[in-house]
Amino acid sequence: MRGASRHQLSRHTSRQPSPSHSDVHERAASGHEAIHAGRVAVITGAASGIGLAAAKKFASLGLKIVLVDVDGERLEKAKKQVLALAEDADGILTFNVDVSDIEGVRHLCESVYKAFGEVNVLMNNAGIGKEPNHPVGTAFGGLASWKAVLDVNLWGVINMLQVFTPEMSRQENASLIVNTGSKQGITNPPGNAAYNVSKAGVKILTENLAYELRTSHSTVSAHLFVPGWTWTGMTGSNGDAPKPAGAWTADQTVEYMLTRLRVGDFYILVPDNETSSDLDALRIRWAAEDITEGRPALSRWHPEYKGLYEEYIAENTHQ
């Protein structure tokens, strides 16, 4: 295996000790001030999948919910599900908005503040994998998907942050912003470069957002939410196929997100029934060390490094 060496396998990068389960549950039980009955949650991509699961969960906790989606028909169906869990029907609003349209986002913000006066949870969750009826965006193909994916996945988040963050920063009550990223934006598996680039952009954007909020002593906190394998419309369920054993449901993923938000995590990497948190960490470390070790790009999928990668995982995985 050219350019590879055994010493790479024996490295154990030190990790900060994780809080004990009792510490986590004690801190989570205290809650986050923004996640409280009567507060306001704005969720994009709320008509299905993780967005809808989050809307339902927040509604069950007594929050007022603003569901935002580009699909008006599915949005109305989603509203009925959320209303069934809400204490106050007047506290549930829907907006048929394309987040890639900055004027639509400005109108959304004005309408929400006029209705509720504040936003305590902003969940930028809208996302697509490609342009419908077009091939995925590769490094030198699928241009239509490149445009569509970046417009929604990256520019949609930028637009929401540019419009909502200044307003949220002026509020007295604490608030939080959750941007939905992807493990594909961290480990960069080949196959859909446009999607990977969009989610890598969300990661970098959210890290900078957290820094800027922290250094300005804002009452707003930022969080990067990175779901694991979640059975949603984007992953191919569409409600007409059984969930694979390895996947989590959208409800499970949202429950995990809430637990980590209450603890205060910035990086919320969600496991699933196939991939543990430890395996996620090993994959992320391997990808980063492609640079520091001078390996080929995406060496995890390189035929000359495949065996070394598999040994690395085996030697560093503790069952």
pLDDT > 60? residue 61: yes
Can you tell me the distance from the alpha carbon of 20 to that of 194, in angstroms, rounded to the nearest whole number? 38
**Are 78 and 67 within 8 A, CB to CB?**
yes
Q: What is the pTM of this model?
A: 0.89
Q: Which residues contact 305 (CB under 8 A, 6 or more apart)?
A: 1, 4, 295, 296, 299
**What does the pLDDT average to over 273-281?**
96
Among the listed residues 175, 167, 180, the one whose alpha carbon sits nearest the alpha carbon of residue 36: 175
Q: What is the pLDDT of residues 211-233, one digit of tens each?
A: 999 999 999 999 999 999 999 85
Task: Using a pLDDT cut of 70, give the percent of the chain over it.
Answer: 87
HSE-CB at 161 with a 13 A cutoff on CA atoms is 26
pLDDT value, residue 31: 62
What's the one-letter identity of residue 238?
A: N
pLDDT value, residue 241: 76
**Are 223 and 35 within 8 A, CB to CB?**
no
pLDDT > 70? residue 19: no
**What does the pLDDT average to over 284-297?**
98
Can you tell me the distance from the alpha carbon of 75 to that of 281, in angstroms, rounded to the nearest whole number? 36
Element (H, E) at 223: strand 220-226
**Are 60 and 91 within 8 A, CB to CB?**
no
pLDDT > 90? residue 24: no
Residue 195 bears catalytic tag:
yes
Element (H, E) at 303: none
Token code pair at residue 114: 């006029």
Q: Which residues contact 85 (CB under 8 A, 6 or more apart)?
A: 56, 59, 60
Among the listed residues 195, 256, 305, 312, the single catalytic one is: 195
Q: What is the pLDDT of residues 241-266, one digit of tens each?
A: 788 999 999 999 999 999 999 999 99
**Distance separating the N- and C-terminal Cα atoms of the chain:** 27
Q: Which domains, and CATH codes, for the chain?
A: 32-274 (3.40.50.720)
